[in-house]
Chains A and B, each alone.
Chain A
Amino acid sequence: MRWFFEKLLRHRTAFAGMVIITVFVLAAIAAPLIAPHSPIVQFKCYTRLAPSFQEHTPPVDDEGAVRIDPASGQPIKSQRFTLGTDFHGRDILSRIIHGAQVSLLVGVVATLIALFIGIVIGSLAGYFGGWVDNALMRLTDTFFAFPSILLAIVILATFQRPGIWALFIALGFTGWTGIARVIRGQILSLKEQEFIEAARSIGAGNFRIITRHLFPNCLAPIIVLGTLAVAENVLSEAGLSFLGIGVQPPTPSWGNMLAEARGNLVDMPWWGVFPGLALALTVLGFNLFGDGLRDILDPRLRIRR
């Protein structure tokens, strides 16, 4: 364990990825504490405010008149909204922080589901071989043949009301094919090792051999694949929410924020740019971390992505 952390600290890009991930994960966990406002409350008089660091003159309305706060009778200030507000007067920073919850949760849970399916199918196929291998791998090929985002849309369409659960399932059930293939390959080479034969000769059953001997030796590729899959799922979640079939408004998600901001990119760029940046950074973080882990844990593993 120690050597692992030492290597991680020395691997610059992996470390950068880890820092980015940590920041977003902490933000997501502590969202209610650190978000300056509620993500869904609409501050009716504070709509369409630019980020506070950009605003030097008092905000004006469409006619050019200075906007007045009806409560105090003073010109309004945008200092309260660091990254500005959207069309409905919601604080964008708070929405991004709360959106991290949804994005990371979907990313992680969908990956766990995909890992579970991929590991079970991959190890059964690799271990038993023969017709079991053939049947399971043809099933994998079938899933692999569909563009996964289309398949996810089809699965989501079968839900009455798409929510976060629907996203877990849709992304989990489409993302396991690559994992199954890699695990199968690992198991195929591992099962020829003599310690598997040794386990069989002391009387260990198939279940024990798979769970105690084969699985722990596949951990390195599983961790690497899992990390990279989180990035992919975060991106897919954003894509599906952007299309309006993922996380439903008013619950904030980076994807549906981008969708809402789509028509206002010129006059209110902050509305779309900041959620987009958060998304890009998160994906970058997971990819850097995953690639770094691959270098550290298993230099031989090179998967085509």
Chain B
Amino acid sequence: MLESRGIMARATQLLDVRGLVKHFPFVQRRGFFPKQVALRAVDDVSFSLARKEVMGLVGESGCGKTTTGKMIAGLLSPTAGEIFFEGENLAGLSTDKKRIVRRRIQMVFQDTVSSLNPRMKVGAILQEPLLVNHIGAAKERRERVAEILDEVGLPPDSSGRYPHEFSGGQRQRIGIGRALILRPDLIIADEPVSALDVSIQAQIINLLLELRDTYQISMLFIAHDLSVVRAACERVAIMYLGRIVEMGDTESIFAHPLHPYTRALLSAVPVPDPAVKLSVPPITDEASSPVNLPLGCRFAARCPLVMPLCRHAEPELVSERSEPSHSVACFLYDKVEMAYE
């Protein structure tokens, strides 16, 4: 059922990611013989993104959410799996065509200090995407920069100033302007507000959502802050150790989270009322190492509801029967797998 849905989706979705895998090989020097091992940063991730849709990718640090974003933006090449953009497989494109498609996928970065070249003036930073892609003459490029400055809410005289003369929120506006100037269809926002003050976070999120409405941009919103995700995203995918464990509409996930990990995450969001008791036992310990993954479910070691089955088999991400858009990878909800076992 899922498969047929996937094929149907390919034609209509803007982005379709199928079985994405990224392994970082390295040599482990434990013991007498060094051995070549792989850090499995992203391990079989599939999802799709509709036009104008904002999807959140959530998980603790090291779960592979940034790696996923970078593979889609073309900054890393996948070990396996396919990325379809408007139904075209990015891996199969010629170099020239890839350049043109890549132009339409842009990134916004987390660190507003290190993501802007300190030796370039804002005008040069914003112009560079046009220059690199040979778009427009010098005069047109300057006009585009002026337009973009206005769109992201920066003063018109910003062009001649250096990034360090701006505040964190303004620098993030520069970063958004740089992504926006190529008129992309998809923006991958890698923790775009987590380095900012809470009061500024809302402004930046609103700016991103406004731009989404104006230019029909889809957005993959990578974050670890659930309240930010709730404010910004229509759909959410929760990642744990390189895999999506739960995915669905934001409403549905926040209203009734299914996966024990999601529940633990949600209960960890601070509630401004000391009388409220934690409804779910908090999870402890560190996540397992992505180098030596345990057999069975990745979350089994920390799961409060672990069953014997969880330590032997890995649950698939399947949609919930009552709500097909909400899917979860947990044996608690996967009666078919239970029977099979």
Contacts and interface: CB of A to CB of B under 8 A. Distances in A.
Nearest to A204: B132
Contacts of B116: 195, 198
A203 interface: yes
A202 B115 contact: no
B128 A202 contact: yes
A76 interface: no
B107 interface: yes
B118 A197 contact: no
Most chain A CB neighbours (cut-off 10 Å) among B111, B116, B128, B182: B128
Given A193-B114, A203-B102, A203-B132, A198 B178 contact: yes
Contacts of B117: 195, 199, 213, 216-217
Nearest to B73: A201
B99 A203 contact: yes
B109 interface: yes
Q: State which size class the interface on B falls in.
A: 20 to 34
A24 to B, nearest CB: 31
Contact of A202 (B111, B119, B120, B132): B132
Interface string A204-226: 11001000110011010000000
Contacts, number: 60
Q: Which secondary structure dominates where chain B touches chain A?
A: loop
A217 B118 contact: yes
Contact of B75 (A197, A205, A212): A197
Nearest to A195: B117
B218 interface: no
Contact of A216 (B75, B111, B119): B119
Contact of A195 (B106, B115, B182): B115
A194 B129 contact: no
Nearest to A203: B132
B114 A202 contact: no
A197 B109 contact: yes
A112 to B, nearest CB: 21
A200 B132 CA distance: 10
B28 to A, nearest CB: 19
Contacts of B106: 201-202
A219 B99 CA distance: 31
B133 A203 contact: yes
A219 B118 CA distance: 12
Interface in B98-138: 99, 102-103, 106-107, 109-111, 114-120, 128-129, 132-133
A194 B109 contact: yes
A202 B102 CA distance: 8
B118 A198 contact: no
The 7 closest A-B pairs by CB, nearest first: A194-B115, A202-B129, A216-B119, A193-B114, A195-B117, A194-B114, A201-B107
Interface of A: 193-195, 197-205, 208, 212-213, 216-217, 219
29 contacts: A193-B114, A193-B115, A194-B109, A194-B110, A195-B114, A195-B115, A195-B116, A195-B117, A197-B70, A197-B107, A197-B115, A199-B117, A201-B73, A201-B75, A201-B107, A202-B103, A202-B129, A202-B132, A202-B133, A202-B178, A202-B182, A203-B102, A203-B129, A203-B133, A204-B128, A205-B132, A213-B117, A217-B117, A217-B119
Interface of B: 70, 73-75, 99, 102-103, 106-107, 109-111, 114-120, 128-129, 132-133, 175, 178, 182
Given A195-B114, A217-B119, 15 more contacts: A193-B114, A193-B115, A194-B110, A194-B114, A195-B115, A195-B116, A197-B70, A198-B107, A199-B117, A201-B74, A201-B102, A202-B103, A212-B120, A217-B118, A219-B119
